[in-house]
Structure 1
Amino acid sequence: MGLPKRDQQYHTYADYLGWPESVRYELLDGVAFMMAGSDLAHQDIVGEVFAQLRNALQGKPCRPFVAPFDVRLPKPRQSDEQTDTVVQPDVMVVCDPAKIDRRGIRGAPDLIVEVLSPSTAGHDQVLKRRAYERAGVQEFWLVHPTDRVVTIYTLGQDGYGKPEIQELVGTTPVGVLENVEITWDELVARLPKIEY
């Protein structure tokens, strides 16, 4: 099941800024997709990953952010108003302060973490992965709450290539952030209590 589209029209960030804030959308190559709601497992994982990143990055130049927070991924020579890809990743880290402005982030974050749910899995694994790869996101994680694994894509000369898949056990180092890792055991111990 995919995310519902707003309509069949091509949209840009200029259109996006005029829409009511009561309904959240993401733009992928001009197509507006309605954002899905989240469940307790999703919120728990997002909150824990963000908290661990925030703690690990205190006093360092890289900054973590959590949705809802607009990330504009312009193609070459696209102004903000012409940008047709605007996403709200679950968790992201930006190390270049020039990319951060009052509207959010313009350009590729260094790390993006998306937590999958049944309604977003295909969207995140296919459409958003392509957008992140094209934009130059150095490291992209897909956390699978049901399967208890994280799929890690690292950008190379030929794009993302084959991902690394790890169980949500122990710790997982963040490749693009020196001496930063995510610890899973306490978080995962809470997840079996949640009905899927």
Structure 2
Amino acid sequence: MHAREYTYSEKEFEDIQSNYNGKAEYCNGHVVLSSSTSIKHNEIITNLSFNLTSYLKGSKCKAYTESIEVIFRKDNEVYKFKPDVFVECEDASREGQSFTSAPKIVFEVISKSTASHDYITKLDIYQRFGVQEYNIVEQDGHIVQYTLTDGQYRISNTFKDNDTYVSTFFEGLKIKLEDIFE
């Protein structure tokens, strides 16, 4: 006998999220929970956010971190994610304190517990909903960059060692990897 897979409503998810002391994400009826992150994970997010905020200062775009939710909604599908670091611009749509339009750039810092969620599920959703650049950040010091071209993600670059990350979306956005992984 197999356990029946349970599908959660958005309301049930909101109840779970409000009582969970970690990151909770909603994947069209399924709930993905992750516990508190590591110090290294947090340092990478802080460094990315700092560098993006510095670059974007004075522009119409801002960097946000995992405490802000992005809702992807189409037909009967609903996804509520909290990307580790992402960029939204002033034309972004909102629903309360959540964004409802695709970020321009997303960085997901990989943790063992959520690796398949980031590499498979989020890659698919970000591609389908139009995130222009998706960066998968491995804590060991490298980044795999995907760029949306004709509705499909293509690996546009991989960065490691002493490389400098270069955005395919924001012209002039460059961050030395040592400034991300220090």
Partner Cα distance (2:79, 2:180) in 1: 32
**How is 1:89-108 mapped onto 2 (pairs within 5 angstroms)?**
89-108=83-102
Cα distance change of structure 1 residues 72 and 186 upon mapping to structure 2, 3 Å threshold: closer
Counterpart in the other structure of 1:141: 135
Q: Deviations over 1:84-133 (max 9, x none)?
A: 21000000001243424532210210000000121121111011111111
Shift of 1:149: 1.1
Partner Cα distance (2:147, 2:138) in 1: 17
Q: Number of residue pairs matched?
A: 177
SS at structure 2 position matched to 1:19: helix
Q: Which of these residues, 19, 22, 27, is aligned with residue 22 of structure 1?
A: 19
Counterpart in the other structure of 1:11: 8
Q: Which of these residues, 170, 175, 182, is aligned with residue 182 of structure 1?
A: 175
Which stretches of structure 1, 4 residues or longer, exceed 4 Å deviation after superposition?
Answer: none
Assess if the C-alpha contact under 8 Å between 2:143 and 2:159 holds in 1. yes
Partner Cα distance (2:122, 2:85) in 1: 14
**How is 1:30-179 mapped onto 2 (pairs within 5 angstroms)?**
30-76=29-75, 84-146=78-140, 148-179=141-172
SS at structure 1 position matched to 2:48: helix
Shift of 1:162: 3.6
SS at structure 2 position matched to 1:127: helix
Q: Greater CA deviation, 164-173 or 44-53?
A: 164-173
Assess if the C-alpha contact under 8 Å between 1:150 and 1:168 holds in 2. no
Assess if the C-alpha contact under 8 Å between 1:12 and 1:27 holds in 2. no
Structure with the bigger percentage of strand: 2
SS at structure 1 position matched to 2:55: helix
Unaligned runs of 5+ in 1: 1-6, 191-196
Cα distance change of structure 1 residues 53 and 100 upon mapping to structure 2, 3 Å threshold: farther
Unaligned runs of 5+ in 2: none
Shift of 1:29: 2.5
Partner Cα distance (2:180, 2:79) in 1: 32
- Percent identity between the two aligned chains: 23
SS at structure 1 position matched to 2:135: strand
Partner Cα distance (2:153, 2:98) in 1: 25
Let me know the Cα RMSD of the aligned residues: 2.0
Cα distance change of structure 1 residues 123 and 98 upon mapping to structure 2, 3 Å threshold: closer
| Amino acid aligned to 2:144 | T
